[in-house]
Structure 1
């Protein structure tokens, strides 16, 4: 009886979390479409100018923020299980840096403006290479959490150094694109780039349904195999999917860190570790955080707009330091 009560209370906590995050996400979407230099009611734009501003600028920006936030949060939650590391995250581990490095290489190999699918493929390939390095080290060398983080930071610094070199060989257009990717922004997203979402959303939905298998993986490889999970095949699928989501996110909005670190950790801390609930709620909360941060980036300064990556880093970096101190104390 006590076990049933415990399960019911736990499910009730998750239910409250889903409802609260869902309502907050709707509010964030309304504010994202409404707030700016001109206040617009999304269902009642006043004139052609407001309609163009809403449809051509704010709506693509919102959809990009939702997709990137959800993708990074779920990718972070999956990486934390895959690497057995509660501090794993695409930005901290350098995976986003690998995607941006591949985009820079593509920019110089193909100086014309690449198609959205080509940029996503290049970013996915860069993210995949860095992910394989980290997974190989975590499994074969059995490196500690601290060393894995240091390796990820080193990979990020390496990719950042190459990108910095690229500044000196760039024309004005390429330089603006590099700054766009490095600082993280969804301000320049248009409808043609959002064709990536036709791939991202189905894959993201599939990944959110893999929570039960991830719960088995958390028990250990031997136990998961005994319970019928093909661990090797499942792990490789996760690596490919995470690389694709991170690559698409970087191709759309540049390098945006800490979402995949902060969101899953806080949800585990407050609600529990069941991945079948954690993954979809991470997607909702990650989308909420990035949509809210993008709205803040537009209104914090009266005459300028902050890159959303700066806003997210300002929130995520202190939380990351707190997590490091907390894990050291534990």
Structure 2
């Protein structure tokens, strides 16, 4: 088999994988709209109550799951290249924690600005600050994977402590209710909140088109410069894009972890590390994974629902431990 035939075979494998991921997303989305406390059959005419249930409750929640899953998966895949670390992920590295700190601060000190758009900008600023810190630290020579992870975990613990103090000293019922939401939940998402999705979707698409540049960055800064890549400009654009996606995801659904770690890593192991294919399939697979996870969160208990973040963490944490062992961290 010559080189061109090998490239064609790899291209077909990626296209097949993207097609399968898309079919999974369509399948889980259809199931999502049908199941719940009230099962809605697609083979019979819906009543007015069923129409309201689908279009006012389930559909906006489904779209939120798709947007958040795609955004977090693409952000994780991008961070892994930016930081040169296959274990990089917004939740693990504390970036989502930075977004939650700014959102709680906005609600605590400036409640008049507590709108979906205000939450998104506050979360984006928080995630931008934490991402900037991590990227600057990661560029230091001699920084091991273990130390980078410890810095990220420390930032996450700091963010969690700040949020806990804010809740402890607050008598505001809405702030206390936010605690459950920060565990990861899209149960209260309405159409008005999808103004955040309108900002996130173009960024997801733009990042998916940056795969070729990320492939060049993976070769090292020297080779990337020789290939015509403006390293500083590209890095800042990617940092800003990741921050906007993580901030938007936290604003919509709270702290939902491990999607940006599990999805890109498993896809990279199975299919390869070509980012021009990996980023689009990560977006689709991340969306499908979060839709499936939210189905589990909704139907697992009869009288209540599990926080979505608990479901994703229960799946992602064992995989993360396996990845740590596999990479032989010291």
TM-score by length of 2: 0.97
CA displacement at 1:177 relative to structure 2: 1.3
CA displacement at 1:168 relative to structure 2: 1.4
Paired residue for 1:199?
199
CA displacement at 1:225 relative to structure 2: 0.5
Closer, same or farther: CA 174–41 of 1 in aligned 2, 3 Å: same
Is the contact between residue 67 and residue 200 of structure 1 (CA under 8 Å) also seen in structure 2? Answer: yes
Structure 1 residues 194-273: aligned runs within 5 Å: 194-273=194-273
Paired residue for 1:65?
65
Closer, same or farther: CA 110–212 of 1 in aligned 2, 3 Å: same
Paired residue for 2:173?
172
| Aligned equivalents of 1:327, 1:320: Cα separation in 2 | 11
CA displacement at 1:142 relative to structure 2: 4.2
Paired residue for 2:105?
105
| Aligned equivalents of 1:245, 1:309: Cα separation in 2 | 17
Is the contact between residue 297 and residue 307 of structure 1 (CA under 8 Å) also seen in structure 2? Answer: yes
TM-score by length of 1: 0.97
Structure 1 residues 50-129: aligned runs within 5 Å: 50-112=50-112, 114-129=114-129
| Aligned equivalents of 2:71, 2:102: Cα separation in 1 | 19
Closer, same or farther: CA 226–11 of 1 in aligned 2, 3 Å: same
| Aligned equivalents of 1:137, 1:303: Cα separation in 2 | 46
Paired residue for 1:18?
18
| Aligned equivalents of 2:275, 2:144: Cα separation in 1 | 23
Query: Which aligned segments of 4 or more residues in structure 1 are displaced greater than 6 angstroms?
Result: none
| Aligned equivalents of 2:45, 2:230: Cα separation in 1 | 53
Q: Indicate the larger mover: 72-81 or 114-123.
A: 114-123
Number of positions where the alignment pairs a residue of Structure 1 with one of Structure 2: 329
Closer, same or farther: CA 149–143 of 1 in aligned 2, 3 Å: same
Deviation string 1:227-250 (CA, Å, 9 cap, x unpaired) is 111111000000000000000000
| Aligned equivalents of 1:219, 1:43: Cα separation in 2 | 53
CA displacement at 1:329 relative to structure 2: 8.0
Give the gaps of 5 or more residues in structure 2: none
Is the contact between residue 189 and residue 252 of structure 1 (CA under 8 Å) also seen in structure 2? Answer: yes
Give the gaps of 5 or more residues in structure 1: none
Deviation string 1:273-319 (CA, Å, 9 cap, x unpaired) is 00000000000000000000001111111222001111100100000
SS in 1 for 2:14: helix
Is the contact between residue 45 and residue 51 of structure 1 (CA under 8 Å) also seen in structure 2? Answer: no
Aligned alpha-carbon RMSD (Å) = 1.5
Paired residue for 1:315?
315
Paired residue for 1:7?
7
Is the contact between residue 96 and residue 127 of structure 1 (CA under 8 Å) also seen in structure 2? Answer: yes
| Aligned equivalents of 1:128, 1:318: Cα separation in 2 | 28
Is the contact between residue 104 and residue 178 of structure 1 (CA under 8 Å) also seen in structure 2? Answer: no
Closer, same or farther: CA 16–248 of 1 in aligned 2, 3 Å: same
Closer, same or farther: CA 307–43 of 1 in aligned 2, 3 Å: farther
SS in 2 for 1:192: helix
Is the contact between residue 196 and residue 248 of structure 1 (CA under 8 Å) also seen in structure 2? Answer: yes
Deviation string 1:155-181 (CA, Å, 9 cap, x unpaired) is 000000111111212222210012211
| Aligned equivalents of 2:26, 2:157: Cα separation in 1 | 37
Structure 1 residues 7-46: aligned runs within 5 Å: 7-41=7-41, 46=46
Q: Indicate the larger mover: 227-236 or 35-44.
A: 35-44
Is the contact between residue 69 and residue 288 of structure 1 (CA under 8 Å) also seen in structure 2? Answer: yes
| Aligned equivalents of 2:110, 2:84: Cα separation in 1 | 38
